[in-house]
Amino acid sequence: MNLNPLLQALDLQEDAARALADDLRTQIDALQSQLREAELRLEHLAITRTTITGLADRIPAQTVDPAGSLELPEHPDYPRILAVFNDTPGPLKARDICQALDFELLPKHVERTRAKMKRLVTMGILTEAEPGTFSRKQ
């Protein structure tokens, strides 16, 4: 009996199994690398959560006055900005507020007003439906 064809068939099977094992090792290496990256990301997120919760007690709470409205930051422009929203229907831009408050339409005035309006958005008083367009929260 001639064993050469049988040995050749066995060689082919060994080569295929070796190629599969090599391919699986490559996939395992890639997955281990992805796993290390995901674990590192989780670690960073945990550190961020710890940092934020550690700082949470330093952030002043929004207080409510007896009338039930939010206490505004201590700057005379905030009530004036809200008064413009109360008097004007529809969304407004920082430029519109500056005009209503008789500010010069200089970039520094418009940007300061926009920053105040964004702070009012953060406080939940205004909404920003589109970038730069603000309206009173319903």
CA distance readout (Å), 64 to 56, 68, 72: 19, 6, 9
What does the pLDDT look like over 80-126, one tens digit per residue?
999 998 888 889 999 999 999 999 999 999 999 999 999 998 888 89
Structure-token pair, residue 77: 């422009």
Token look-up 């919760």 returns: 53
* CA dist., res. 55 & res. 44, Å (int): 17
* CA dist., res. 126 & res. 132, Å (int): 12
What does the pLDDT look like over 11-68, one tens digit per residue?
999 999 999 999 999 999 999 999 999 999 999 998 988 888 777 656 554 444 444 4
CB atoms within 10 A of CB 14: 10
What does the pLDDT look like over 11-22, one tens digit per residue?
999 999 999 999
